[in-house]
């Protein structure tokens, strides 16, 4: 695990021959068939693939929500595949931010309380007063501070997803994984949520996003395509392309 790039960075995530089998009545079904992958700090990765290709399964491996059948997951030099259940839960709470298509906010808690929850679980960021102040800052960063004290049911879908992003940032993780985060939003709202992700990447976060949206996927720094549990395409946007897409954005 001593690999370095030209700048001296080591990969943030390394997957080695990662496999995941689900038990089914018809026998084991391999949703991931041997994934080898390195994700570097600061990358904005879009994972594309048809329904059933294995996108959510892969995201669930990266976030420790589910465990692999075989192979290795190294994140920031930690062997995730070897962690005990307790260690994994603790690691996930502190080191990973996850965003889902369906937001998955707690309906009985206000937006701010939803953002405070991961801080509370991890015992980070001080008293509840201090946690509340941090939650408000995070909500301000995604431009919905004024909704902090409302219940999720009282804000729009795009605003709920912003709350979910603020919650994912609660414990300041190095990387965020998002499973079709714009999948239930209209295209304008999706665009705004995508802009939040772009700002996070510009601020140094690493982002891994499963999506069906080709247009959004054309604006990230790297695209992966998964088919039947295997990565079949891995493309990096060159700097020139990135430059051009920024120019296009400014002209839009």
Q: Which residues in this chain contact Mg ion in the complex, by CB under 5 A? A: 55-56
Residues forming the site for ligand ATP (CB under 6 A): 22, 24, 29, 31, 49, 51-57
Residue 24 binding partner per list Mg ion, ligand ATP, none, with a CB distance cut-off of 5 to 8 Å that depends on partner kind: ligand ATP
User: Which contacts qualify for 31-34: CB closer than 8 Å, 24 or more apart?
Assistant: 31/57, 31/229, 32/57, 32/58, 32/61, 32/68, 32/229, 33/228, 33/229, 33/230, 34/71, 34/229, 34/230
Residue 131 CA from chain centroid, whole number: 22
Q: To the nearest whole angstrom, how small is the minimum distance from the Cβ of residue 50 to ligand ATP?
A: 7
**Strands, E, within the chain: which ranges?**
13-24, 27-39, 44-48, 70-75, 78-79, 96-100, 175-179, 206-210, 222-227, 230-236
Question: Smallest distance, Å, CB 105 to ligand ATP?
Answer: 20
CB of 182 to ligand ATP, least distance (A): 13
- Between residues 43 and 180, which has the closer beta carbon with respect to ligand ATP? 180
Q: Give the nearer residue to ligand ATP in terms of CB position, either 34 or 41.
A: 34
Rounded least distance, CB 244 to ligand ATP, Å: 29
- Residue 195 partner contact from ligand ATP, Mg ion, none using kind-dependent CB cut-offs of 5 to 8 Å: none
């Amino acid at each position: 695990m001593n690999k370095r790039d030209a700048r001296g960075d080591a990969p943030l995530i390394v997957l080695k021959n990662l496999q995941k089998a689900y038990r089914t009545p018809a026998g084991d079904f391999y949703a991931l068939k041997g994934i080898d992958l390195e994700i570097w700090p600061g990358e904005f990765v879009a994972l594309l693939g048809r329904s059933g290709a294995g996108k959510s399964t892969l995201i669930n491996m990266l976030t420790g929500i589910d465990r692999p059948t075989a192979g290795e997951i190294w994140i920031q030099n930690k062997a995730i595949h070897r962690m005990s259940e307790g260690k994994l839960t603790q690691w996930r709470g502190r080191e990973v931010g996850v965003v889902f298509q369906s937001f998955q906010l707690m309906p009985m808690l206000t937006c701010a309380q939803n953002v405070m929850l991961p801080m509370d679980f991890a015992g980070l960021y001080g008293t509840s007063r201090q946690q509340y102040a941090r939650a408000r800052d995070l909500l301000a960063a995604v431009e919905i501070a004024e909704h902090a004290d409302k219940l999720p049911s009282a804000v729009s879908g795009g605003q709920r997803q912003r709350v979910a992003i603020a919650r994912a940032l609660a414990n300041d993780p190095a990387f965020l994984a998002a499973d079709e985060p714009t999948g239930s939003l209209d295209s304008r709202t999706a665009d705004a949520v995508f802009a939040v992700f772009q700002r996070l990447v510009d601020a140094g976060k690493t982002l891994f996003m499963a999506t069906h949206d080709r247009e959004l996927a054309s604006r990230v720094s790297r695209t992966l395509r998964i088919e039947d549990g295997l990565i079949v395409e891995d493309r990096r946007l060159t700097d020139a392309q990135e430059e051009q897409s920024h120019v296009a954005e400014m002209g839009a």
